[in-house]
Amino acid sequence: MSANKKLLFLPGDGIGPEVMGQVHRVIEWMDRRRHICFDVTEDLVGGAAIDAQGTSLTDETLSAAMSVDAVLLGAVGGPKWDNVARDIRPEAGLLKLRKEMDLFANLRPATVIPALAGASTLKSEFISGLDMLILRELTSGIYFGKPCGISERDDGTSEALDTQRYTSTEIERIVRVGFEIAGKRERVLHSVEKANVMETGVLWRQITSKVSEDYPSIELHHMYADNCAMQLVRAPKQFDVIVTDNLFGDILSDCAAMLTGSLGMLPSASLGNADESGRRMAMYEPVHGSAPDIAGEDSANPLATILSFAMMLQYSFDDSDNADLIKNAVSQVLARGLRTSDIMQDGMKLVSCSQMGEALCMELDRLAA
């Protein structure tokens, strides 16, 4: 019998602990009904870690994250920590995890579940059947470029500086992942930058064109980021896989999330390269934030986090069967009309975060029967 899979749970702040609580239910279900066992340890990150340990990510938590099979993170941040020093702020902990674990490939699939086609702010004819994936570079670009900072000028005014920097190696490795993923999907890749304005965009385009020679069967389109934002709301179904840099990926993935009805539905996987033994570091997290305004009310949507767990089964444990089972259960509970408040529609049944988790496990029972 194979060893238990080792997971680190980092619930974080705001609604993080509530939505992660529902993943515990799914894990218990997997143990009980599928005999898949996980050893789950839990630790602090973000504001919760600042309060308890004085920093948003301790070295111990980081090394724990690097030694498990996979990490599941809830969300970080909130107004309570708006004034803490920048190097320990909640988001800094998350960025450090991404950087130190070298999780350069961030997969953000945006899929419109049929029952939710009417929940989008876009007309359903434009989004029904949408199934796309944004591949965001996660460990470089303007999020990490040096120099950066705010400084005083001689004339008494101040100046702020961020640096957008990409090496050809960094671009090549993320773009290659893009071609590989597109090859397993609809074989259409949009590479998104602003080569008309930015030097990093020029290099991005050159490298992508070069790499595309190795993937002759994939249809490659270069697109400017502003046009891409517009196309996402004009005709989103033209997209299969979008590969883009850290900042554009952050923005465009929020945009794509809304096409699916709610930010509360979108999972993500952040992956590193596999080492010689085939081991790959990975962290899974919902795309939504900590939603401090509704934290503690048991009203958050747990589905993005549960779907992130499904991505973990697929990418870290090569278990597409159980990943698909969870995805089907999500579609089914929604088809039954259950809705958390973020996706509530007329005539549907409003449920809490924990009720949604419970209903999902009942659905898993039905599907596995």
User: Where do contacts with ligand IPM occur on this chain (CB under 6 A)?
Assistant: 77, 91, 94, 250, 287, 289
SS3 of 246-294: the string is: HHHHHHHHHHHHHHCCCHHHCCCEEECCCCCCCCCCEEECCCCCCCHHH
270 or 332: CB nearest ligand IPM: 270
Q: Which residues are bridge partners to 105 per DSSP? A: 137, 271
302 binds, among Mg ion, ligand IPM, none (CB under 5 to 8 A by kind): none
Instruction: State the minimum distance, in angstroms, from the CB of residue 337 to ligand IPM.
Output: 30
Phi, psi at 367, each rounded to 5°: -65, -30
Using DSSP's 3-state secondary structure scheme, residue 32 falls into helix
Point out the catalytic residue in the list 143, 166, 215, 315.
Answer: 143
Contact with Mg ion (CB under 5 A): which of 250, 285, 319, 342?
Answer: 250
170 binds, among ligand IPM, Mg ion, none (CB under 5 to 8 A by kind): none
Instruction: State the minimum distance, in angstroms, from the CB of residue 145 to ligand IPM.
Output: 14
Point out the catalytic residue in the list 250, 284, 319, 342.
Answer: 250
Structure-token match 């950087």, residue found: 99
DSSP string, 294-313: GTTTT-S--HHHHHHHHHHH
5 is catalytic: no
Point out the catalytic residue in the list 51, 162, 254, 298.
Answer: 254
155 is catalytic: no
The answer to whether the beta carbons of residues 163 and 126 sit under 8 Å apart is no
47 or 77: CB nearest ligand IPM: 77
Tokens matching residue 314? 């697929």
137 near Mg ion (CB under 5 A)? no
- How many C-beta neighbours within 10 Å does residue 197 have? 12
9 or 143: CB nearest ligand IPM: 143
250 is catalytic: yes
245 near Mg ion (CB under 5 A)? no
Catalytic residue set:
143, 194, 226, 250, 254
